[in-house]
Structure 1
Amino acid sequence: AAYVLLLVGMPLGSQLPDASWSSACYFLCLGVWTLFVGSHRSLGSKPPKKISFREGILAPFLFSLSLFGLYCLLRFFPNLDLQAFLSAYLALVGVFAVASNMVDLIGSLFPLTNSQLFRVEVPKWILEDDKSIVQLSSTLADVLALCVGVAIMIAYKQDGAPFMLNNFIATCIAIEALQIFSLGSFLTATTLLSGLLLYDAFWVYGSSHVFGDNVMLTVATSSAFDGPIKLIFPHLGGSSTFPYSLLGLGDVTVPGLLTALMLKFDRSRFSTRAYGVFENSSTGSMAKPKKTYFFTCIASYIFGLVLTFVANGVSGAAQPALVYLVPSQLIGVFLVSSVKSEVDLLLSYNEELLDNTSDVEKEN
Structure 2
Amino acid sequence: MNTSHPKYITVADQRSERAWQWTESEDALRTYLIFFGFLLAGELPFVRDVRFADLPYFVGLATITIYIGAHRGLTNKIRQQITLREGALAPVAASVALFGGYLLIKFFPDLSLQRFLNIYFWLIGSIAIVGNVAPPLRRAAGELGECTIPLTFPEGWLLDDDGNSIRETSIAPSDIAAVLLGLGVATVDLTCNHSSFTLNNLIACLIATDILQLLGLKSFKAAAVMLVGLAMYDIFWVFGSPKVIGDNVMLAVATSDILTGPTRLLFPRFSGSLGEGSAFPFSLLGLGDVAVPGLLACLALRYDASRATDMRARALAAADALKDSLASMQAGATDREIAHAAADAAEAAFDEVADAELAHRVSTQGGASASPFAVSDAVLHQRTYFVPTMLAYVGGLGIAFGVNAVTHLGQPALLYLVPATLSAIVVVGAFRGELMRVISFVDSPSPAVEKALARQNAKE
Query: Are residue 290 (structure 1) and residue 410 (structure 2) matched?
Result: no
Query: Are residue 4 (structure 1) and residue 33 (structure 2) matched?
Result: yes
Out of 36, 48, 59, the residue aligned to residue 67 of structure 2 is 36
Out of 234, 239, 251, the residue aligned to residue 268 of structure 2 is 234
Give how far 1:338 is off.
Answer: 0.6
Greater shift, 43-52 or 90-99, is seen at 43-52
CA shift in 2, pair 1:199/1:132, >3 Å:
farther
Structure-2 separation of matches of 1:116 and 1:51: 38
After TM superposition, list the pairs within 5 Å mapping 1:48-87 onto structure 2: 48-87=79-118
Out of 361, 376, 390, the residue aligned to residue 274 of structure 1 is 361
So what's the TM-score if we normalise by structure 2? 0.70
Corresponding letter in the other structure for 2:297: T
Structure-1 separation of matches of 2:69 and 2:189: 23
- Checking the alignment, whether the CA contact within 8 Å between 1:118 and 1:139 is kept in structure 2 is yes
Q: Secondary structure, in 3 states, of the residue corresponding to 1:118?
A: strand
Corresponding letter in the other structure for 2:34: L
Question: Could you say which residue in structure 1 is the equivalent of 2:313?
Answer: none
Q: Secondary structure, in 3 states, of the residue corresponding to 1:320?
A: coil
CA shift in 2, pair 1:317/1:240, >3 Å:
closer
Corresponding letter in the other structure for 1:85: F
CA shift in 2, pair 1:121/1:258, >3 Å:
farther
Give how far 1:123 is off.
Answer: 4.4
Give how far 1:275 is off.
Answer: 8.0
Q: Deviations over 1:256-279 (max 9, x none)?
A: 111111011012123424389xxx
Query: Are residue 313 (structure 1) and residue 396 (structure 2) matched?
Result: no
Moved over 6 A (4+): none
Query: Are residue 146 (structure 1) and residue 179 (structure 2) matched?
Result: yes
Give how far 1:197 is off.
Answer: 0.6
Question: Could you say which residue in structure 2 is the equivalent of 1:215?
Answer: 249
- The aligned length equals 345
Give how far 1:153 is off.
Answer: 1.4
Q: Deviations over 1:5-27 (max 9, x none)?
A: 22223212233143432001111
Question: Could you say which residue in structure 2 is the equivalent of 1:186?
Answer: 220
After TM superposition, list the pairs within 5 Å mapping 1:101-112 onto structure 2: 101-110=132-141, 111-112=143-144
Q: Deviations over 1:4-60 (max 9, x none)?
A: 222223212233143432001111111111121211111124321111222111111
Q: Secondary structure, in 3 states, of the residue corresponding to 1:246?
A: strand
- Checking the alignment, whether the CA contact within 8 Å between 2:77 and 2:161 is kept in structure 1 is no
Q: Deviations over 1:226-281 (max 9, x none)?
A: 211111000134668620000001111111111111011012123424389xxxxx
Structure-1 separation of matches of 2:236 and 2:188: 37
Structure-2 separation of matches of 1:192 and 1:115: 45
Question: Could you say which residue in structure 1 is the equivalent of 2:281?
Answer: 243
- Checking the alignment, whether the CA contact within 8 Å between 2:393 and 2:420 is kept in structure 1 is yes
Bigger Rg, structure 1 or 2: 2
Flag structure 1 segments of 5+ consecutive residues without an equivalent. Answer: 277-285, 360-364
Q: Secondary structure, in 3 states, of the residue corresponding to 2:78?
A: coil
- Checking the alignment, whether the CA contact within 8 Å between 1:167 and 1:232 is kept in structure 2 is yes
Structure-2 separation of matches of 1:102 and 1:265: 27
Question: Could you say which residue in structure 2 is the equivalent of 1:132?
Answer: 163
Question: Could you say which residue in structure 1 is the equivalent of 2:42?
Answer: 13
Q: Deviations over 1:73-95 (max 9, x none)?
A: 11111111122222221221111
Q: Secondary structure, in 3 states, of the residue corresponding to 1:31?
A: helix
Q: Secondary structure, in 3 states, of the residue corresponding to 2:74?
A: coil
CA shift in 2, pair 1:14/1:112, >3 Å:
closer
Structure-1 separation of matches of 2:295 and 2:170: 28
CA shift in 2, pair 1:4/1:252, >3 Å:
same
Structure-2 separation of matches of 1:77 and 1:119: 48
Flag structure 2 segments of 5+ consecutive residues without an equivalent. Answer: 1-29, 309-356, 364-376, 451-460
Structure-2 separation of matches of 1:10 and 1:83: 25
Q: Deviations over 1:209-239 (max 9, x none)?
A: 1111111111111112221111100013466
- Checking the alignment, whether the CA contact within 8 Å between 1:51 and 1:184 is kept in structure 2 is yes
Out of 172, 182, 194, the residue aligned to residue 206 of structure 2 is 172
- Checking the alignment, whether the CA contact within 8 Å between 1:259 and 1:298 is kept in structure 2 is yes
Q: Secondary structure, in 3 states, of the residue corresponding to 2:151?
A: strand
Give how far 1:154 is off.
Answer: 2.1
So what's the TM-score if we normalise by structure 1? 0.87
